Amino acid sequence: MIIRQREAQPPFTTMDGSTIRSLLDSSNATVANQSLAEATLPAGISTRRQYHRVSEEFYYLLSGTGLMEIDGETRAVSSGDAVLIPPGAWHQITAQTALQFLCCCSPPYSHDDTFFE
């Protein structure tokens, strides 16, 4: 059984501008098919627009409000919302208030599978 405590996972800032804690992925567990991370984004900040060629991604908003853009369509998002980001879809999230959300990727997140504008 593998259990990871959030506080034991060191946060880092990614190339998209969010702060990430890898909760379960190949860096800290025997994960083969998915990854789970917590992201935070300060109010007024947007992630860099990006897509993943292979990974399907879910965002689950834990707190805050923002604007989610996927392939040119923008919608308001808030705590309790789950967002599907299909492989190949350009996406960006903008925090209207401080955001905290979970990012789930399958296959697992990879820097090699992340492409920026």
Cα separation of 79 and 65, whole Å?
Answer: 7
Residue 2 has pLDDT above 90, yes or no: yes
d(CA 104, CA 55): 9
CATH architecture, range 14-108: Sandwich (2.60)
Average pLDDT over residues 16-45: 94
pLDDT tens digits for 58-115? 999 999 999 999 999 999 999 999 999 999 999 999 999 999 999 999 999 998 999 9
- Of residues 110, 117, 100, the one with CA closest to residue 14: 110
Domain ranges of the chain: 14-108
Task: Quick: pLDDT tens for 25-37.
Answer: 998 999 999 999 9
